[in-house]
A and B are shown apart, each in its own frame.
Chain A
Amino acid sequence: MTANQLLQYTTWAVYVLIFISTTVKAVRRPLRANIDIALFFLLPTLIILQVALVGLGIEPNSPPILAVTIALFPLLVYMLLRLVDDFSTVPSWLLRLSETLLVVIVAGIFTTLQPPASSTSNSSNLPSWLQTFLIIYVLAMLGYCIVAFVREARSTKGVTSRRMGAAAVGTIFLALNIFVPQIGAAIPESQGVFAIISALLGLASSIAYFVGFSPPGVLRSAWQEPELRAFLSRATSLPRLATTEALITEFERGAAESIGTPQASIGIWDEAEQALRFNVDGAVSYVAADDDSLTGKSYLYQKAFFTENLKRDSPLAARQHSPNVTLIAAPISTESRKIGVLTAYATHVPIFAEEDLSLITLLADQAAVIIESRALNEESMRVRTREEITRLKEDFLSAAAHDLKTPLTSLVGRAQLMERRAERNPGAPADIESIRTISREAMRLKTLVLELLDAARADEGKLLGDLEETDLVAIAEEVCSRHTTDRHPCAVEAAAPVVGSFDVIRIRQVFENLFENAVKYSPEGGVVHVKLWTSGDKAYFSIRDHGIGIPNTDFSSIFERFHRGTNIDDRRFAGMGLGLYICREIVKQHHGKISVRSHRGEGTTFTVELPLRQPESEAQNLLAEKVQGTQSPSNANTPVQPQPDTQLPNLAVGQVLFAAPDESST
């Protein structure tokens, strides 16, 4: 056996095997695409048959056989066009046109074919117009198919893209396979070489077509693997996405790529609606879990389904998902919970294969794990938040207790010391140092207690009392003159009075608080600048010191409850860390804003913006509350000035403090 023969027999064997394999598939599943594929591979098999018949002694150039042989070429390219239509869409006019031309050509071949004049060539047997026509037809069809497959390969993803790529390669080989012998015919001396090249091209083409149109399961899985692998490695990070919706969208995308379809969608079981909730590009739809749809059935029976005929198996879904004709669906469930369904649709039947059932089941299981883990994450976040609140409450409680007990210890001890001294030595002069200490410690305690009570009121949104026409400049000057010392001079700067409607007591409190803060962090002799102005219907004031500044990292938290300076031992000043929180609440309840600007070593500026007039309805509400003495829903909750509140849910400081267990019993 020569190498040439070996090649030929191998090629034949491959053709026959592919033909048998595709025919078996077509018989099992007599879908148009499967039948087309089988018919497509029938044609080269017929050529083999013809050659074999020649081997048995039948005259190869007898007109009927020759006619069939020639007619196989336009038939082959027509079948190819049908396959393009099976995988994507060919305009119907083009299909009709190619069919018409095919009939014309085949009829022409059978009517005009003459017995050959010589045995070396059969090309001259056709009239030249038909020959030209045939060549143009085959060329044009092949060209169209190559372009169509390449386009399809580029527009699809994953396994489908690879299959279309293989089909395009197969078509290119086929084109070469048809035209190389024509060249060979022109160079008779090297016909043997061309025969080998032609056989190889035919073999390559048929293998490419086989893997493209009807890939064996192993190859299909291998082709799905890169996308699947990439997706699965990405999937572990999905539960960290901001929302469950985002997670589902991301999963749908990854699943679609892995299966090789344009779109996959996940329906999540909605308890309230008692249906599967799908959200496709923002459009929400519900699918009942019943026998009416494959999706519903998949959820109902907890089983994966595959249909190549959506119209027959699920008319409703076929209408809803037109032009999709094929569906694959798998339930998303954990052992304890039925979460939903993962579905993938495709517009062309051969995109999916039965083997995809195991893939979609795998993906659905993965989805179950991820969605469940997301739910667990959310639950653990809730638990953490609750724990964080508890911890903050405990921290606050212990800090508050400490801060209150320290001056109390001094007060009790000092008072009892004075008492004992007076008993021992009734004639002694007044112990002025002790009296001063008691007075100072009592003030310290008073500040702390008031701060706590204010914070409790702030939590309820009930800090403000009567609003009255006030000049902020006058308040600033009063606070300034009361607190100014040689160590910390104070300078008020204002071009004109700043008159508006405010709660005077609370606004004074803001001034005092910010002023004390400024003094606290200022070096000896550092001037505290207070500036007031109006702009439009807003009043502004800023308090600037020349102190050490606030680290940037503290900016976001200084207005929050419980924030204390990092130096916790600075007990003389530390207070409860509620001062700035109360300031912010007072400003907020005036519908104003407070902000801070600071640079390391350049001091800190707090700026407050207040509307000169409170909204009409607000003022009336306040008045109404006063008149009726009722506690109508707090106006502070009206989102007129939405400000980011603390990250944590509202903690009523009052509750924390007053619901505290008695801890002095030790």
Chain B
Amino acid sequence: MSLASPPAILVVEDDTVILNTVSEILELEGYNVERASNGEEGLRAVERALPRLVLLDMRMPILDGWGFVRALKERGIKLPIIVMTAAQDARRWAQEIDAQGYLAKPFELLDLLAAVEDIQSPP
């Protein structure tokens, strides 16, 4: 363990219940979690400290998932992203924004953990 806290997983999701549930599941597994309820808040979190992974809802008020990804690109930041969406186009949207993976809602706890671990462990 290094002295600084390990880079967090950033969860960006406008539905508070889902945001809290996902965050608590990850925290239970020992991950450090940053919460943001829209793209705007997500960007601020990224500017404070680079997360190692972003779990990103796509349809959100203020700044949606696409806006968030565009803003990252403008800032020259490249982060692994997992798309979380209830939409039918989950896979296509993930490809469009060049994400590492996607979780189609309603996903299960094990799906979530597996997706996160996939990204964490180097190939």
Chain A interface residues (CB < 8 Å from chain B): 398, 401-402, 405-414, 416-417, 420-421, 424, 437, 440-441, 569, 571, 663-664, 666
A569 to B59, CA, bound (A): 8
Instruction: Give the Cβ gap from B118 to chain A, nearest Cβ, in Å.
Output: 17
Q: A410-B15, A410-B18, A412-B109 are in contact. List 17 more A-B contacts (CB 8 A).
A: A398-B88, A401-B86, A406-B105, A408-B105, A409-B18, A411-B106, A413-B21, A413-B112, A414-B21, A416-B109, A417-B28, A440-B17, A569-B59, A569-B60, A569-B61, A666-B90, A666-B104
Instruction: Give the Cβ gap from B26 to chain A, nearest Cβ, in Å.
Output: 10
Instruction: Give the size of the chain B interface in residues (CB under 8 angstroms).
Output: 26
| Chain B contacts with A in 92-123, Cβ cutoff 8 A | 104-110, 112
Q: Are B91 and A666 in contact (CB under 8 A)?
A: yes
Q: Are A571 and B15 in contact (CB under 8 A)?
A: yes
Q: A406-B18, A409-B18 are in contact. Are A417 and B109 (CB under 8 A)?
A: yes
Could you say which residues of chain B place their CB within 8 Å of the CB of A421?
28
Contact of B24 among A401, A407, A417, A569 (CB under 8 A): A417
Could you say which residues of chain A place their CB within 8 Å of the CB of B110?
416
Q: Are A406 and B108 in contact (CB under 8 A)?
A: no
Instruction: Give the Cβ gap from A326 to chain B, nearest Cβ, in Å.
Output: 69
A414 to B14, CA, bound (A): 16
B22 interface residue (CB < 8 Å to A)? yes
Closest to B102 in A: A666
- Which of B59, B105, B107 lies at the interface centre, i.e. has the most chain A CB atoms within 10 A of its CB? B105
Instruction: Give the Cβ gap from A596 to chain B, nearest Cβ, in Å.
Output: 27
Could you say which residues of chain B place their CB within 8 Å of the CB of A414?
17, 21
Q: Is the interface of A mostly helix, strand, loop or mixed?
A: helix
Instruction: Give the Cβ gap from A305 to chain B, nearest Cβ, in Å.
Output: 63
Q: Are A409 and B107 in contact (CB under 8 A)?
A: yes
Q: Are B59 and A401 in contact (CB under 8 A)?
A: no
Could you say which residues of chain B place their CB within 8 Å of the CB of A416?
25, 108-110
Q: Are A409 and B105 in contact (CB under 8 A)?
A: yes
Q: Which 10 A-B residue pairings sit nearest by Cβ, starting from the closest?
A: A405-B86, A416-B109, A408-B106, A409-B106, A569-B61, A413-B21, A409-B105, A410-B17, A402-B86, A405-B105
B49 interface residue (CB < 8 Å to A)? no
Instruction: Give the Cβ gap from A619 to chain B, nearest Cβ, in Å.
Output: 45
A417 to B22, CA, bound (A): 9
Instruction: Give the Cβ gap from A401 to chain B, nearest Cβ, in Å.
Output: 7
Chain A proximity mask over B63-91: 1 for CB below 8 Å, otherwise 0: 00000000000000000000000111011
Could you say which residues of chain A place their CB within 8 Å of the CB of B105?
405-406, 408-409
Chain A proximity mask over B46-62: 1 for CB below 8 Å, otherwise 0: 00000000000001110
Could you say which residues of chain B place their CB within 8 Å of the CB of A666?
88, 90-91, 104
A416 to B15, CA, bound (A): 18
Q: Are B21 and A410 in contact (CB under 8 A)?
A: yes
Q: A401-B86, A416-B109 are in contact. Are A437 and B21 (CB under 8 A)?
A: yes
Could you say which residues of chain A place their CB within 8 Å of the CB of B107?
409, 412-413
A413 to B103, CA, bound (A): 12
Q: Are B88 and A409 in contact (CB under 8 A)?
A: no
Contact of A420 among B60, B104, B109 (CB under 8 A): B109
A sample of 26 inter-chain contacts (CB < 8 A) reads: A401-B87, A402-B87, A406-B15, A409-B15, A409-B18, A409-B86, A413-B18, A413-B21, A413-B22, A413-B106, A413-B107, A414-B21, A416-B25, A416-B110, A417-B25, A417-B28, A417-B109, A421-B28, A424-B28, A437-B20, A440-B17, A571-B14, A664-B104, A664-B106, A666-B88, A666-B90
Instruction: Give the Cβ gap from B61 to chain A, nearest Cβ, in Å.
Output: 4
Instruction: Give the Cβ gap from B116 to chain A, nearest Cβ, in Å.
Output: 13
Instruction: Give the Cβ gap from A506 to chain B, nearest Cβ, in Å.
Output: 31
- Which of B21, B22, B90, B107 lies at the interface centre, i.e. has the most chain A CB atoms within 10 A of its CB? B21
Instruction: Give the Cβ gap from A422 to chain B, nearest Cβ, in Å.
Output: 11
Instruction: Give the Cβ gap from B93 to chain A, nearest Cβ, in Å.
Output: 11
Instruction: Give the Cβ gap from A436 to chain B, nearest Cβ, in Å.
Output: 10
Closest to A411 in B: B106
Q: Are A420 and B21 in contact (CB under 8 A)?
A: no
Could you say which residues of chain A place their CB within 8 Å of the CB of B20?
437
Could you say which residues of chain A place their CB within 8 Å of the CB of B24?
417
Instruction: Give the Cβ gap from A448 to chain B, nearest Cβ, in Å.
Output: 13
Instruction: Give the Cβ gap from B107 to chain A, nearest Cβ, in Å.
Output: 7
Could you say which residues of chain A place their CB within 8 Å of the CB of B15?
406, 409-410, 571
Closest to A404 in B: B86
A372 to B104, CA, bound (A): 50
Q: Are B87 and A398 in contact (CB under 8 A)?
A: yes
Instruction: Give the Cβ gap from A47 to chain B, nearest Cβ, in Å.
Output: 95
| Chain B contacts with A in 13-51, Cβ cutoff 8 A | 14-15, 17-18, 20-22, 24-25, 28
Closest to B109 in A: A416
Could you say which residues of chain A place their CB within 8 Å of the CB of B88?
398, 401, 663, 666
A402 to B88, CA, bound (A): 9
Instruction: Give the Cβ gap from A393 to chain B, nearest Cβ, in Å.
Output: 13
Q: Are B28 and A406 in contact (CB under 8 A)?
A: no
- Which of B22, B86, B108, B110 lies at the interface centre, i.e. has the most chain A CB atoms within 10 A of its CB? B86
Q: Are B104 and A412 in contact (CB under 8 A)?
A: no
- Which of B60, B91, B107 lies at the interface centre, i.e. has the most chain A CB atoms within 10 A of its CB? B107
Contact of A569 among B14, B18, B87 (CB under 8 A): B14
